[in-house]
Structure formats: structure tokens, C-alpha cells
């Protein structure tokens, strides 16, 4: 009731001033996604957003149908989705709400989720909404149960997006680097050995140019499966970027890491990857580095392994090198 009184007292000018000072993107759309107006914060989604650009251009191809459906069906929706953010590569996870208003139009509210902390804030907000529903009627209690299911789905989706590389299903760059940071701290706190390997797929650009990117993606997936299956527990492998992978070997010196690198090179050399009738041979170049306690940071350790990997490439590829 208090919010209703406040809403009754606010003028259109007041609302305009409020919308311009919030950090959440707000846009008024037609049901087909055509923008009518938006606040300054909404421009974080696309600085070139204008009256001729429909919302579907901001959505990744795989999310366009579902995203437009949520906007056009005249029902309030709250979900977590991906948008192509201005000035950034790829897509960004966002908390989204589509709120139907008069004249068949829709108020779209978007807030970027930039960290796990922000994901938790979204989940807390949903949890508060669930608590409000529970004090309502029996019908509202059923809605609360549905909201709880939706919230759990949001948590699962957010966790997957935040931690897993969608192509290889390995830990993504952010996750594997965070694991490396934790392992460096652990090795320094409880003196122990730690080694890493940076693995690069040789001549991967040639594979893409020869067979096309879809087949190149499948080659990366199969390389990822090979790496995951060949590393021991508790070693961890993640996608470091592009055609590069990072392997973390806790409690291992550079000799053990080199033995693993040799085995991975041999295994990949002897494997023929078959994709859509094409038989493709793949080799690896690997750079190995052992943590120098007291001298290395996680960043310098990565740089040493990366330099060793490029040294391997300069020597002819399909091999491994150990950093000094």
C-alpha cells in the first residue's frame, strides 16, 4: 500500500528522473522487441541502440526465440539470460524482467551479473520475493513453489554459465585461473610442489580454414575429452582460451609434469579424430613450469609456462618444453 501511495504521488517527470539515475537498464518496447524509449543505463547493453534496432539483435542466436517469447506473451517473466554487451567480446550474463504494461507494451529491465557475488544478490532478491508470496493466499503459495523451482533453475544455470566453458564443458578460463591462484596459495602456506602445463593445439587455424569452424569446434571438444581422461586425480584441466588448455598438477614437480606432457603428446599423435567423415590428425605443443616458492606469483608461473610452450613451437611443435 505504501508503494502504491508513492506511485500515485510521482509524476512522469519524477519517474524520468528516477530512471535516469538508477544503474539498472530500463527500456520500453513494443511486443515485437522494437524499442520506444530507454534510460541511459540501458546503453550499457548496446551504445548504438536506436529506434531501428530490435531487441533480438542483442540476444545470442540460441536465445532469441525464448527471449522474444518472454517479451511478447503478455505475462511477467523474470529470468537470467545472455546479452551482447557493448565494447565486450562474447555475451554477458544478465538478470532480466519483462513487465507487461498498458497498450500491449513491455517494460524490459536488465541488470548485468558481473561476478559470483552479483549472482548471489540476484538469488537473494528472488528469495525475498518468494517470502512475500508465502504470506499470501493458498493460490499464492502455489506460485511461491513455482518461484522456488524457478530460483533453483536460475542458480543452476548461473553456476554453469559462471564456471563451465560451453564448448568443451571443461572449467572455463576464470574458473581454472582461480583454481591456480588457490593452489599457489596452498603450496606456499603448506610447503609443497606445484607444476602447471599450458597445452596448445598445433596448426588449429589451418583446421578451421580447411574444414570450417563447426568441425574445428568438434576437434577442440575431442581434444578436451582426451586431456580430461588422461590427467590423474587431483590434476585439473580447463580451457584457458581459444585452442589453449591449462593443466594444474598439485604436489607434482616439473619431472612429473613433463612425463604427463610426453604421454599427452604421444596419445594425441596416435589418435585420429573423425568428424563428419573427415579424419584429422592433431598434435600438441606443451609448456611446463614448476612453481618457484617465494619467487613466483600465479601470474609469473603462467608466463613461464607460456614461454616454454612457444619455445616448443619454435622447435617444431608436437613436443614439450620445461621452463627454466
The three grid cell numbers given for residue 300, joined into one nine-digit string: 609469473
C-alpha to C-alpha distance for 93 and 85, rounded to whole angstroms? 9
243 is catalytic: yes
Q: Which listed residue (82, 111, 183, 243) is catalytic?
A: 243
Neighbours of 317 (CB within 10 A): 15
C-alpha to C-alpha distance for 196 and 301, rounded to whole angstroms? 8
Residues in the chain, how many?
324
- Yes or no: say if 132 and 144 are a contact pair by the CB < 8 Å rule: no
C-alpha to C-alpha distance for 207 and 205, rounded to whole angstroms? 5
Instruction: Identify whether 244 is preceded by a cis peptide bond (ω within 30 of 0).
Output: no
Q: Of the candidates 93, 96, 80, which has an alpha carbon nearest to the alpha carbon of residue 33?
A: 96
The secondary structure of residue 209, as a DSSP letter, is: H
**Of all helices (H) and strands (E), which one includes residue 118?**
helix 116-134
C-alpha to C-alpha distance for 99 and 70, rounded to whole angstroms? 10
C-alpha to C-alpha distance for 314 and 204, rounded to whole angstroms? 16
The secondary structure of residue 44, as a DSSP letter, is: G
Backbone angles phi, psi at 83, to 5 degrees: -130, 155
Catalytic residues: 243
Amino acid at each position: 500500500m505504501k508503494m502504491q501511495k508513492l506511485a500515485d504521488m510521482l509524476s512522469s517527470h519524477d519517474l524520468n528522473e528516477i530512471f535516469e539515475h538508477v544503474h539498472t537498464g530500463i527500456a520500453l518496447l513494443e511486443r515485437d522487441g522494437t524499442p520506444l524509449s530507454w534510460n541511459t543505463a540501458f546503453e550499457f547493453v548496446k551504445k548504438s541502440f536506436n529506434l531501428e534496432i530490435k531487441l533480438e539483435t542483442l540476444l545470442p542466436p540460441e536465445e532469441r526465440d525464448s527471449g522474444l517469447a518472454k517479451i511478447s506473451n503478455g505475462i511477467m517473466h523474470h529470468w537470467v539470460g545472455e546479452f551482447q554487451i557493448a565494447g565486450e567480446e562474447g555475451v554477458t550474463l544478465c538478470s532480466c524482467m519483462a513487465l507487461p504494461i498498458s497498450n500491449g507494451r513491455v517494460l524490459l529491465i536488465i541488470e548485468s551479473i558481473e561476478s559470483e557475488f552479483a549472482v548471489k544478490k540476484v538469488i537473494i532478491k528472488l528469495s525475498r520475493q518468494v517470502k512475500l508470496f508465502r504470506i499470501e493466499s493458498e493460490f499464492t503459495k502455489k506460485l511461491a513453489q513455482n518461484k522456488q523451482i524457478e530460483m533453483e533453475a536460475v542458480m543452476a544455470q548461473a553456476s554453469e554459465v559462471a564456471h563451465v566453458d560451453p564448448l568443451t564443458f571443461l572449467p572455463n578460463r576464470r574458473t581454472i585461473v582461480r583454481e591456480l591462484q588457490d593452489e599457489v596459495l596452498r603450496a606456499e602456506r603448506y610447503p609443497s610442489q606445484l607444476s602447471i602445463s599450458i597445452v596448445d593445439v598445433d596448426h588449429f587455424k589451418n583446421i578451421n580454414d580447411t574444414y570450417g569452424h563447426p568441425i574445428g569446434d568438434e576437434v577442440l571438444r575431442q581434444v578436451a575429452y582426451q586431456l580430461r581422461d588422461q590427467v590423474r586425480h587431483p590434476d585439473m584441466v580447463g580451457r584457458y582460451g581459444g585452442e589453449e588448455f591449462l593443466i594444474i598438477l598439485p604436489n607434482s614437480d616439473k619431472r612429473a609434469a613433463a612425463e604427463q606432457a610426453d604421454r599427452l603428446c604421444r596419445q594425441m599423435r596416435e589418435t585420429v579424430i573423425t568428424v563428419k567423415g573427415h579424419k584429422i590428425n592433431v598434435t600438441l605443443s606443451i609448456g611446463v613450469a614448476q612453481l618457484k616458492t617465494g619467487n613466483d606469483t600465479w601470474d609469473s608461473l603462467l608466463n613461464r609456462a607460456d614461454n616454454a610452450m612457444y619455445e616448443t613451437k619454435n622447435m617444431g611443435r608436437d613436443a614439450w618444453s620445461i621452463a627454466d
